[in-house]
Amino acid sequence: MSDWNAIDAELDCWSRAGRVATFWWRDDDACEPTPALSRLIALSDRYRVAISLSVIPAKAGDALRDALIPYPAANVLQHGFAHLNHAPSNEKSAEYGAHRAARIMSAELEHGLMRLQGMFEKRCLPLLVPPWNRISESLIPVLPSLGFLGLSVFRPRCSSSPAPGLRQVNTHVDIIDWRSSRSFKGTARLAAEISAHLSARRRKEVDAREPTGILSHHLVHDDDCWRFLQQLFARTRERENVQWLTAAEALES
């Protein structure tokens, strides 16, 4: 049996229910043009799957802006500010955990957003992707006042709007196994995770409207990562009841 059967079987269930399975794709840690970034954008272009690049404001520059000009379908999200860990060594890494004063973190995030908007203009969606997918609960209600419309972390969202004026759309399937190998997680495991999220949506065990978010990190991809993404896009693009959303569309879901 193919590793992909789990996804095919679940998508057949969606089909029988007359429903369209929505997905979106977020890739983290972009700073500058690299061969891996070119490969990522080429993949997005080839399969017409919108890529949402979460870009580190303090590390990004004009070279990245220029590299994206030919690809209007590539959107930019804000990946923290400098991707620095401010948590003590006995806690999980976080740039925006409850380790610093709220006003310092707010000023940093606002500065980062202005920097990205100045560089990428309309291509920049004011959506915060906190590094390591962690953010202090107390910072979330402040985000709209800093200019953010959206927030994206990992795992099914609890609410589509975690604070007035703010929407949330998360990712659910990370193609890298950070806990052990720090490389490709394997097609069988990923197919199981994708079908599990789709199944939970179909059964309304999680927010059914939240698109299934695929998370990648182009800078650490090996050949297996690239092959998996290519196969996922090719296979889902063949199906009538699958839709890949842009980040803006995902945020409105």
Options 11-19, 128-136, 168-176, 187-195: segment touching Zn ion (CB under 5 A): 128-136
Burial class (CB within 10 angstroms; exposed 0-12, middle 13-18, buried 19+) of 36: middle
Give the count of residues interacting with Zn ion (CB under 5 A): 3
**Which tokens hold the place of 16?**
């029988």
Q: Which secondary structure element, helix H or strand E, spans residue 167, and what is its range?
A: strand 167-168
Q: How far is the CB of 130 from Zn ion (least distance, A)?
A: 9
The SS3 of residue 153 is coil
Q: How far is the CB of 79 from Zn ion (least distance, A)?
A: 6
| 29 lies in the binding site for Zn ion (CB under 5 A) | yes
Nearest Cα neighbor of 228 from 199, 178, 188, 179 is 188
Adjacent-strand bridge partners of 243: 22
- Give CA–CA dist 8/3, Å, rounded: 10
Q: How far is the CB of 28 from Zn ion (least distance, A)?
A: 4
| 112 lies in the binding site for Zn ion (CB under 5 A) | no
Options 23-31, 60-68, 134-142, 183-191: segment touching Zn ion (CB under 5 A): 23-31
| 28 lies in the binding site for Zn ion (CB under 5 A) | yes
Options 3-11, 30-38, 127-135, 171-179: segment touching Zn ion (CB under 5 A): 127-135
- Give CA–CA dist 169/151, Å, rounded: 7
Nearer to Zn ion, 179 or 204 (CB): 179
Q: How far is the CB of 131 from Zn ion (least distance, A)?
A: 5
Nearer to Zn ion, 57 or 131 (CB): 131
Sign of the alpha-carbon torsion through 113, 220, 225, 132:
negative
* Residue with the shortest CB distance to Zn ion: 28
Residue with tokens 């203009």: 121
Adjacent-strand bridge partners of 244: 23
Q: How far is the CB of 29 from Zn ion (least distance, A)?
A: 4
Q: How far is the CB of 225 from Zn ion (least distance, A)?
A: 16
Binding Zn ion (rule: CB under 5 A), the pick from 97, 112, 130, 131 is 131
Q: Is 194 left (phi over 0), alpha (psi -120 to 50) or beta?
A: alpha
- Segment 206-235, which members bind Zn ion (CB under 5 A)? none
In the complex, the residues that contact Zn ion under the rule CB under 5 A are 28-29, 131
